[in-house]
Amino acid sequence: MTKIKVLVILIGILYSCHSNSKHEKFDEVQLDKTETFTKKEELDPHIKNEEVFSQEDTLKNQTLLLQEFSDLYTELLVFKDKSDFHKYGFSIGGPYHEWYLNVQELNTGSDSKLLFAKGIVAGELLNLGIEYLNSLGRETDISNFRTDIFNRALSSEKIEPVETKSGAKNYAKIRNEYSLFGKWKIRNSFFKAEYGYEIYIKDSDFVGILIDNDYKVEKLEKKGDNYHIKGNFFGEYYKVNSEMELSLYDRDGSLTNAGYSTIKDLN
């Protein structure tokens, strides 16, 4: 009987210990869940800042891409006069095929639009290389045209900033205070992009608005049929003919070769 009592007591002690152990583990798990929930709550501000980080990353990527383009451009200017380039060109196995592949990758990469935002189409660098190959390194009207674009795009020349405002609220204010001059759809075949563009007039003041999420406002200076974007680095402007057809230009001429086309927005 005494043995049975001792056995029962031992079993009770073991059960109690096991039970406490289970409670301790249960409490630990519950604590982990509570901590996880708390951490998710604390992460909310960081989640809200993802857009800021994304903008910083975009600017960083753009800087890196510009540097990569600049390096490839400089390489071309160095080897364009070399005899082995004139002999082998960009052929597979040749000394400049890797350069060709690097430019091609830069042109077709998902971030190529970041270069385009700076007025650079990497594919034009390939065209410049082919032009030098055909001319044996000598400058031509085509090579001068492209190098001028690249040099200006990569230049550190500072342009006096022009204050512009953006946002749906400002767009509504302009529509209320200005008269609509014209509406168009602008397309770019290179990037499969399309956006609306509107020009408004008040007395002798003209403003253009890119109809997208930011409603970017451009101050325009009218010169005849041309509407120049004030402060634009590339001297870009819009031309509106008597039929109210819009076309895009920069100081070097039409931007049709850059993939731009327009149609009147009749809505």
Instruction: Write the pLDDT tens digit of every residue in 60-105.
Output: 677 788 888 888 989 999 999 999 999 999 999 889 999 999 998 8
**How far apart are alpha carbons 188 and 266 in whole angstroms?**
19
Q: Is the pLDDT of residue 158 over 80?
A: no
Q: What is the pLDDT of residue 17?
A: 44
> Between 224 and 52, where is the model more confident?
224
Q: What is the pLDDT of residue 133?
A: 93
Residue type for position 140: T
Q: How far is CA 168 from the centre of its chain?
A: 21
Domain 168-264 belongs to what architecture?
Beta Barrel (2.40)
- Name the β-bridge partners of 180: 200
The order of strands in the sheet holding 246-250 is 253-254, 246-250, 237-240, 226-229, 216-223, 205-211, 193-202, 179-188, 260-264
Helix residue ranges, H only, the chain:
2-48, 50-79, 83-88, 97-108, 112-116, 122-135, 141-154, 168-177
Average pLDDT value over all residues in the chain: 75
Residue tagged 């960081």 (tokens): 46
Six-digit token string for 190: 């290179």
Nearest Cα to Cα of residue 236 among 208, 264, 263, 194: 208
Q: Given its phi and psi angles, is residue 245 left (phi above 0), alpha (psi -120 to 50 degrees) or beta? A: beta
Q: Collapse the DSSP code of 48 into the 3-class scheme (helix H, G, I; strand E, B; otherwise coil) and give the result.
A: helix
Q: What is the pLDDT of residue 213?
A: 59
- The per-residue pLDDT for range 194-222, each reduced to its tens digit, is 889 999 999 999 999 988 757 888 899 99
Q: Given its phi and psi angles, is residue 136 left (phi above 0), alpha (psi -120 to 50 degrees) or beta? A: left
Q: How far is CA 36 from the centre of its chain?
A: 36
Q: What is the pLDDT of residue 55?
A: 53
* Mean pLDDT across 235-251: 94
- Residue 102 has φ and ψ, to the nearest 5°, of -65, -40
Q: Using H for helix, E for strand and C for coil, what is the string for 64-85? A: HHHHHHHHHHHHHHHHCCCHHH
The domains of the chain are located at 50-154, 168-264
Residue type for position 182: G
For residue 40, how many other CB atoms are within 10 A of its CB?
10
- Name the β-bridge partners of 253: 250
**How far apart are alpha carbons 113 and 106 in whole angstroms?**
10
Mean pLDDT is lowest, of 35-39, 49-53, 146-150, 229-233, for 35-39
